[in-house]
Structure 1
Amino acid sequence: MKKLTIVGAGGYGKVVADIAIKNGYEYITFVDDNPLIKDCYGFPVVGTLKDLKNNDTDIVVAIGNATFREKIMKSVTKDRLVSLAHPNSVIAEDVTIGPGTIIMAGAVINPGVKIGCGCIVNTSSSIDHDCLIEDFVHVAVGAHIAGTCFIGKKTWIGAGAILSNNTSIISDVTIGAGTVVIKDIKEPGIYVGVPAERIEKEDCANMKNSDINKKSERELNI
């Protein structure tokens, strides 16, 4: 029997559970440090993070925050971490995918792509040929990365963002929803707009709170 423990009993965890079912897992449980959560997507929450050491299941971490995801993944042995791909994703034969990475429905990953550990390639996103995606990157819903791009560790590519071909992004960058990146990003930070421009966190707060631009944090994806 294929057994899986999912870390994180939230919305992301529900999606991962559905993918796990489609990958043949028959026994699925969750762990979560919130004692008020008793089940997720019809599966029981059986303990907290410290209880991961008490079972022999495969493990996948369904937490959106890259820093937390990295910390949890490093606390368990690599041989227990699994990657999962939705059967309705399209993945070229030579693509390499690190442990703990999740590929969601409708995602397209073309030849020559290398994806690191603990990444999220979200619903209906795409990564074109010969891209290198480092560990703990999140390619959000509907984002598109053109060919021969480099994405540094723990970078977040927001929903609907577009990266032009041959562009490179340093680690620890947040690309806002709908942003278009047409040149290399060499400094960590938050980037929004068409074309992408770096903004300060204070400017980001003003954008969220202004009467002119009433985009919520969720809409901005930053």
Structure 2
Amino acid sequence: MYLFGAGGHAKVIIEILQSRKIPVEALFDGNPDIKQVWQYPVITYSPEMPVAAIIIAIGKNAVRKNIAEQLAVPFGTALHERANISPSAMIAEGTVVMAGATVNADVLIGRHCIINTNASVDHDCVLEDFVHISPNAALCGNVKVGEGAHVGAGAVVIPGITIGKWAVIGAGAVVTKDIPDHSVAVGNPARKR
């Protein structure tokens, strides 16, 4: 497996892959000052390189989408062995699920999403592509999260809520009403800023 990105997010994904005994070949990054992450070489990506699979190891949703749209390669997934993932959940390519995360029954998770450390995604939730659910965030049942939305650390979303595309939910927010596309919502209860 190759990773695209050589920052802190890449380190977490490396540990997930190590937990699953999936070898990491190298990391790609455009910063010429980064030569190595732990024992793994950091090199410049070239489309001519034969790669079995890549995971985009970048936390920013819009950047992850931009890179995914430029790469014509197979994408892998990284599901930590200490994540609780229902057998009825569907997780698309490029997605990573961190240690302690819970993904419950009939959840649908799109491409290149991040379900971060100890996040909880309850039954029948639908997460579109490029979503990031931050550490300790909780989505109750039947929540829909639009493409590219980011749910901040420790936020809580009550059942049946829709979070719009590219919306941002602040850390610790409690979402009790639908959030429109491209909105920022913070507080308890969460309000558009």
Q: Contact 1:191–1:197 (CA<8 Å) still a contact in 2? A: yes
Return 5+ residue gaps in structure 2 as ranges: none
The CA deviation at 1:187 is: 4.1
Q: Contact 1:116–1:134 (CA<8 Å) still a contact in 2? A: yes
Q: Contact 1:17–1:28 (CA<8 Å) still a contact in 2? A: no
The CA deviation at 1:52 is: 4.7
Aligned to 1:133: 127
Superposed counterparts of 1:4-19, under 5 Å: 4-19=1-16
- Percent of aligned pairs sharing the same letter: 35
Q: Structure 1's 52 and 31: CA in aligned 2 closer, same or farther, altered over 3 A? A: farther
The one-character-per-residue Cα deviations of 1:91-139 (angstroms, maximum 9, x if unpaired) are 0011001100000000001001000000000000000000000000000
The one-character-per-residue Cα deviations of 1:34-68 (angstroms, maximum 9, x if unpaired) are 00001113211022x3x254122310000111111
2:55 to 44, 60, 64: 60
2:140 is the counterpart of 1:143: no
Q: Distance in 2 between matches of 1:52 and 1:15?
A: 25
Q: Runs of 4 or more off by more than 4 Å in structure 1?
A: none
Superposed counterparts of 1:103-182, under 5 Å: 103-182=97-176
1:30 to 11, 27, 30: 27
Q: Contact 1:6–1:13 (CA<8 Å) still a contact in 2? A: yes
Structure with a larger share of its residues in helix: 1
Q: Contact 1:122–1:140 (CA<8 Å) still a contact in 2? A: yes
The CA deviation at 1:188 is: 2.0
Q: Contact 2:2–2:51 (CA<8 Å) still a contact in 1? A: no
Q: Contact 2:17–2:24 (CA<8 Å) still a contact in 1? A: no
Greater mean alpha carbon deviation, residues 92-101 or residues 187-196: 187-196
Q: Distance in 2 between matches of 1:186 and 1:109?
A: 24
Report the TM-score when normalising by structure 1.
0.84
SS of aligned partner of 2:71: coil
Q: Distance in 2 between matches of 1:24 and 1:52?
A: 26
Pick the structure with greater CA Rg: 1
Q: Structure 1's 102 and 53: CA in aligned 2 closer, same or farther, altered over 3 A? A: farther
Q: Structure 1's 188 and 46: CA in aligned 2 closer, same or farther, altered over 3 A? A: closer
The one-character-per-residue Cα deviations of 1:5-30 (angstroms, maximum 9, x if unpaired) are 10110000000111111222224210
Q: Distance in 1 between matches of 2:181 and 2:71?
A: 32
Q: Distance in 2 between matches of 1:26 and 1:171?
A: 34
Q: Which has the higher contact order (CA 8 A, sep 6+)?
A: 2
